[in-house]
Amino acid sequence: MARTKISHSETETAASPPPKETQGLAEQAYRAILQGLFDRTIPSGAELSQSLLMKRLGITVQPLRDALRTMEAEGLVSIHSRSCIRFIKADLELSRSTYQFRSLLERPGARALAETGEASDIEEMLADHRALIADLEENGLHAEQEARLKEMEERLHGALITALRNPLIEITARRLKNYVTLVRLDRLVTTPLALRTLREHLEILEACARRDADAAEAALAMHFKQALQRILGME
């Protein structure tokens, strides 16, 4: 196989970190592309040219390329030279893979939160969940309650990851959150589904409050199983 010769100056350039200004523009481009996926400016599974992406998102060429390389490493896009940028499709297989991976990360987190989590933090989350359940039962789901539901989901699942005290897992979980958002884009949240989610959270938190690691892990596994079924329209 022929090898490409790389000059000494090229090696030095590759090894040097990009200027901070370039890093900032690439990060802005990355966030713009993600937002495009989340608001469907970029449809799931779309195949778009680089020039069309630049025009649609208002991004210049180098930050776009830098952002796309990062997204390719994260599995969000595949880059086909002189052809197109193919974006990940939020399909059945991605939903299953995403929740399987979440389970691998967070089941140990449920055990860790039960064994070593701050009792006051757990009790605060329990109280907030119970208050929202009561609110939903009385008033139903509106924009305010939906925002609180999202915040509680982030707090609980964030606490499970934080309980592991592992920065590498935290980085992976932040990336995985993009997949979770994508597979849940078409999810219709109703009052019964919101209540079901919150009650599943309660089972996890109540087990953590009892310091029952086995029950906390089992409750989390069941929560993910049922959440996946809701996404797939099986509940």
Q: What is the pLDDT at residue 233?
A: 77
Mean pLDDT over the full length of the chain = 89
For residue 164, give the 3-state DSSP assignment.
coil
Secondary-structure percent of the chain, ordered helix, strand, coil, rounded to 5:
70, 5, 25
SS3 47: strand
For residue 182, give the 3-state DSSP assignment: helix
85 contacts: CB under 8 Å, gap ≥ 6: 47, 48, 49, 50, 53, 68, 77, 78, 79
- Give the pLDDT confidence score for residue 5 in this predicted structure: 39
Angle (CA) 88-189-44 rounded to 5° is 15
**Under-50 pLDDT residues of the chain:** 1-17
pLDDT at 201: 98
Query: 79 to each of 26, 82, 124, how far by Cα in Å?
Result: 17, 9, 45
| Residue 82: predicted pLDDT | 76
Distance of alpha carbon 74 from alpha carbon 120, whole angstroms? 36
Question: What are the two backbone dihedrals, phi and then psi, of residue 163, each rounded to the nearest 5 degrees?
Answer: -60, -20
Q: Does residue 182 contact residue 44 with C-beta atoms inside 8 Å? A: yes
